[in-house]
Structure 1
Amino acid sequence: MNKDSFDEIIRRSMEIRRKYRQLELMHHGSEWTVEEDALAYLTDAGLVGRNIMSQQQRWPKVDSEAQLEHKLGENIWWLIVLAKRSGIDIRKAVDQFLIKTEAALE
Protein backbone atom coordinates (compact mmCIF):
# COMPACT_ATOMS: atom_id res chain seq x y z
CA MET A 1 0.00 0.00 0.00
CA ASN A 2 1.41 3.37 -0.90
CA LYS A 3 1.43 6.44 1.36
CA ASP A 4 -1.47 8.07 -0.50
CA SER A 5 -3.64 4.98 0.00
CA PHE A 6 -2.92 4.90 3.72
CA ASP A 7 -3.59 8.63 3.97
CA GLU A 8 -6.98 8.06 2.32
CA ILE A 9 -7.77 5.26 4.79
CA ILE A 10 -6.90 7.61 7.65
CA ARG A 11 -9.03 10.40 6.18
CA ARG A 12 -12.03 8.10 5.71
CA SER A 13 -11.58 6.63 9.20
CA MET A 14 -11.65 10.06 10.81
CA GLU A 15 -14.71 11.07 8.80
CA ILE A 16 -16.56 8.00 10.08
CA ARG A 17 -15.48 8.86 13.64
CA ARG A 18 -16.78 12.41 13.14
CA LYS A 19 -20.18 11.00 12.17
CA TYR A 20 -20.22 8.74 15.23
CA ARG A 21 -19.49 11.82 17.37
CA GLN A 22 -22.61 13.45 15.97
CA LEU A 23 -24.62 10.38 17.04
CA GLU A 24 -23.03 10.46 20.51
CA LEU A 25 -24.04 14.10 20.91
CA MET A 26 -27.56 13.37 19.72
CA HIS A 27 -28.09 10.32 21.92
CA HIS A 28 -25.97 11.11 25.00
CA GLY A 29 -25.38 14.85 24.94
CA SER A 30 -21.60 14.45 24.90
CA GLU A 31 -18.82 12.93 22.83
CA TRP A 32 -17.00 9.80 23.92
CA THR A 33 -13.70 10.39 25.64
CA VAL A 34 -10.46 8.86 24.38
CA GLU A 35 -10.80 6.35 27.22
CA GLU A 36 -14.26 5.33 25.99
CA ASP A 37 -12.89 4.94 22.47
CA ALA A 38 -10.11 2.74 23.89
CA LEU A 39 -12.64 0.60 25.77
CA ALA A 40 -14.70 0.19 22.59
CA TYR A 41 -11.54 -0.87 20.75
CA LEU A 42 -10.69 -3.43 23.44
CA THR A 43 -14.20 -4.85 23.22
CA ASP A 44 -13.85 -5.25 19.46
CA ALA A 45 -10.35 -6.73 19.88
CA GLY A 46 -11.89 -9.37 22.13
CA LEU A 47 -14.47 -10.13 19.47
CA VAL A 48 -11.66 -10.68 16.95
CA GLY A 49 -10.27 -13.32 19.29
CA ARG A 50 -13.65 -14.99 19.63
CA ASN A 51 -14.20 -14.94 15.86
CA ILE A 52 -10.74 -16.42 15.24
CA MET A 53 -11.49 -19.19 17.74
CA SER A 54 -14.76 -19.85 15.95
CA GLN A 55 -13.08 -19.86 12.55
CA GLN A 56 -10.49 -22.32 13.83
CA GLN A 57 -13.26 -24.51 15.28
CA ARG A 58 -12.16 -23.92 18.86
CA TRP A 59 -15.41 -22.15 19.76
CA PRO A 60 -18.98 -22.89 18.68
CA LYS A 61 -19.56 -21.38 15.24
CA VAL A 62 -21.68 -18.31 15.94
CA ASP A 63 -20.07 -15.77 13.64
CA SER A 64 -19.43 -15.92 9.94
CA GLU A 65 -16.21 -15.31 8.03
CA ALA A 66 -17.71 -11.96 7.03
CA GLN A 67 -18.03 -11.01 10.70
CA LEU A 68 -14.36 -11.82 11.31
CA GLU A 69 -13.36 -9.74 8.29
CA HIS A 70 -15.52 -6.85 9.52
CA LYS A 71 -14.04 -6.96 13.03
CA LEU A 72 -10.46 -7.06 11.73
CA GLY A 73 -11.16 -3.96 9.65
CA GLU A 74 -12.92 -2.30 12.58
CA ASN A 75 -9.91 -2.92 14.84
CA ILE A 76 -7.59 -1.22 12.36
CA TRP A 77 -10.09 1.66 12.18
CA TRP A 78 -10.07 1.97 15.98
CA LEU A 79 -6.26 2.02 16.07
CA ILE A 80 -6.22 4.85 13.53
CA VAL A 81 -8.79 6.79 15.58
CA LEU A 82 -6.95 6.21 18.86
CA ALA A 83 -3.64 7.28 17.36
CA LYS A 84 -5.15 10.46 15.94
CA ARG A 85 -6.90 11.31 19.21
CA SER A 86 -3.64 10.69 21.11
CA GLY A 87 -1.59 12.92 18.82
CA ILE A 88 0.38 10.03 17.33
CA ASP A 89 1.14 9.74 13.62
CA ILE A 90 0.04 6.18 12.91
CA ARG A 91 2.09 6.07 9.70
CA LYS A 92 5.24 6.91 11.62
CA ALA A 93 4.35 4.57 14.50
CA VAL A 94 3.89 1.58 12.19
CA ASP A 95 7.03 2.40 10.21
CA GLN A 96 9.13 2.74 13.38
CA PHE A 97 7.70 -0.52 14.76
CA LEU A 98 8.57 -2.36 11.55
CA ILE A 99 12.10 -0.92 11.40
CA LYS A 100 12.81 -1.74 15.05
CA THR A 101 11.32 -5.23 14.86
CA GLU A 102 13.01 -6.11 11.58
CA ALA A 103 16.37 -5.01 13.02
CA ALA A 104 15.79 -7.04 16.18
CA LEU A 105 15.08 -10.16 14.13
CA GLU A 106 18.09 -9.94 11.80
Structure 2
Amino acid sequence: MFFYGGIIMDINELTDRSRKIREKYHRLELKQDGHAWTPEQDALAFLTDAGLVGRLIMAQEGSWPTDSNDPTLEYKIAESIWWLSSLADSQSIDLESAMDKFLKSREEHLDD
Protein backbone atom coordinates (compact mmCIF):
# COMPACT_ATOMS: atom_id res chain seq x y z
CA MET A 1 0.00 0.00 0.00
CA PHE A 2 1.08 3.55 -0.68
CA PHE A 3 0.15 6.72 1.15
CA TYR A 4 -1.39 9.31 -1.16
CA GLY A 5 -2.81 12.60 0.05
CA GLY A 6 -3.36 11.22 3.53
CA ILE A 7 -5.08 8.06 2.27
CA ILE A 8 -3.75 4.57 1.68
CA MET A 9 -3.57 3.38 -1.93
CA ASP A 10 -3.18 -0.31 -2.71
CA ILE A 11 -1.12 -1.62 -5.60
CA ASN A 12 -4.19 -2.47 -7.68
CA GLU A 13 -5.41 1.12 -7.42
CA LEU A 14 -1.93 2.33 -8.34
CA THR A 15 -1.97 0.06 -11.40
CA ASP A 16 -5.44 1.19 -12.47
CA ARG A 17 -4.72 4.89 -12.10
CA SER A 18 -1.33 4.51 -13.76
CA ARG A 19 -2.92 2.70 -16.72
CA LYS A 20 -5.44 5.51 -17.22
CA ILE A 21 -2.72 8.17 -17.13
CA ARG A 22 -0.53 6.14 -19.52
CA GLU A 23 -3.45 5.85 -21.98
CA LYS A 24 -3.79 9.65 -21.96
CA TYR A 25 -0.08 10.02 -22.64
CA HIS A 26 -0.39 7.56 -25.52
CA ARG A 27 -3.00 9.84 -27.08
CA LEU A 28 -0.60 12.80 -26.76
CA GLU A 29 2.20 10.73 -28.30
CA LEU A 30 -0.05 9.84 -31.23
CA LYS A 31 -0.60 13.55 -31.88
CA GLN A 32 3.06 14.43 -31.43
CA ASP A 33 4.89 11.45 -32.97
CA GLY A 34 2.20 9.70 -34.98
CA HIS A 35 2.47 6.62 -32.75
CA ALA A 36 2.30 5.71 -29.09
CA TRP A 37 5.59 5.05 -27.36
CA THR A 38 6.78 1.45 -27.30
CA PRO A 39 7.62 -0.39 -24.08
CA GLU A 40 11.29 0.20 -24.96
CA GLN A 41 10.72 3.95 -25.07
CA ASP A 42 8.81 3.76 -21.79
CA ALA A 43 11.73 1.85 -20.22
CA LEU A 44 14.17 4.52 -21.39
CA ALA A 45 11.94 7.24 -19.96
CA PHE A 46 11.87 5.36 -16.64
CA LEU A 47 15.67 5.05 -16.65
CA THR A 48 15.97 8.79 -17.24
CA ASP A 49 13.75 9.51 -14.25
CA ALA A 50 15.56 6.92 -12.11
CA GLY A 51 18.81 8.70 -12.96
CA LEU A 52 17.27 11.97 -11.87
CA VAL A 53 16.35 10.38 -8.55
CA GLY A 54 20.04 9.59 -8.10
CA ARG A 55 21.05 13.14 -8.97
CA LEU A 56 18.47 14.65 -6.63
CA ILE A 57 19.64 12.44 -3.76
CA MET A 58 23.23 13.46 -4.50
CA ALA A 59 22.14 17.11 -4.43
CA GLN A 60 20.30 16.57 -1.14
CA GLU A 61 23.44 15.00 0.32
CA GLY A 62 25.53 17.95 -0.91
CA SER A 63 27.56 16.12 -3.56
CA TRP A 64 25.77 17.51 -6.64
CA PRO A 65 24.90 21.12 -7.45
CA THR A 66 21.23 22.02 -7.22
CA ASP A 67 19.13 24.10 -9.54
CA SER A 68 15.97 25.89 -8.43
CA ASN A 69 14.23 24.48 -11.53
CA ASP A 70 14.93 20.86 -10.54
CA PRO A 71 11.89 18.70 -9.80
CA THR A 72 11.52 17.55 -6.22
CA LEU A 73 12.90 14.21 -5.09
CA GLU A 74 9.44 13.20 -3.88
CA TYR A 75 7.96 13.87 -7.33
CA LYS A 76 10.66 11.95 -9.20
CA ILE A 77 10.42 8.94 -6.89
CA ALA A 78 6.65 8.89 -7.37
CA GLU A 79 7.08 9.25 -11.14
CA SER A 80 9.53 6.34 -11.13
CA ILE A 81 7.00 4.18 -9.28
CA TRP A 82 4.39 5.22 -11.86
CA TRP A 83 6.73 4.19 -14.68
CA LEU A 84 7.37 0.82 -13.04
CA SER A 85 3.65 0.25 -12.63
CA SER A 86 3.08 1.19 -16.27
CA LEU A 87 5.92 -1.04 -17.49
CA ALA A 88 4.67 -4.00 -15.46
CA ASP A 89 1.17 -3.46 -16.85
CA SER A 90 2.46 -3.27 -20.44
CA GLN A 91 4.18 -6.62 -19.93
CA SER A 92 1.11 -8.24 -18.28
CA ILE A 93 2.90 -8.54 -14.95
CA ASP A 94 0.70 -8.49 -11.88
CA LEU A 95 2.60 -5.98 -9.79
CA GLU A 96 1.04 -7.06 -6.50
CA SER A 97 1.93 -10.70 -7.08
CA ALA A 98 5.42 -9.83 -8.32
CA MET A 99 6.10 -7.67 -5.26
CA ASP A 100 4.80 -10.35 -2.92
CA LYS A 101 7.05 -12.99 -4.51
CA PHE A 102 10.06 -10.69 -4.42
CA LEU A 103 9.56 -9.65 -0.80
CA LYS A 104 9.02 -13.25 0.31
CA SER A 105 12.18 -14.36 -1.49
CA ARG A 106 14.23 -11.61 0.17
CA GLU A 107 12.71 -12.30 3.61
CA GLU A 108 13.53 -16.00 3.28
CA HIS A 109 17.00 -15.31 1.91
CA LEU A 110 17.88 -12.89 4.70
CA ASP A 111 16.13 -14.76 7.53
CA ASP A 112 18.67 -15.95 10.07
Q: Structure 2 length as normaliser, TM-score? A: 0.87
Residues 11 and 95 in structure 2, CA contact (< 8 A), matched pair in contact too: no
1:94 has 2:99 as partner? yes
Moved segments of 4+, more than 4 Å: 63-66
Structure with greater strand percent? 2
Among the aligned pairs, what percent are the same residue?
A: 49
Residues 51 and 63 in structure 1, CA contact (< 8 A), matched pair in contact too: no
1:34 has 2:39 as partner? yes
Q: How many pairs does the alignment contain?
A: 105
Query: What runs of 5+ residues in structure 2 fail to find an aligned partner?
Result: 3-8
Query: What runs of 5+ residues in structure 1 fail to find an aligned partner?
Result: none
Q: How does 1:68-83 map to 2 (within 5 A)?
A: 68-83=73-88
Pairing partner for 2:53 from 48, 51, 61: 48
Structure with greater helix percent? 1
**Larger relative contact order (C-alpha < 8 A, sep ≥ 6)?**
2
Q: Structure 1 length as normaliser, TM-score? A: 0.91
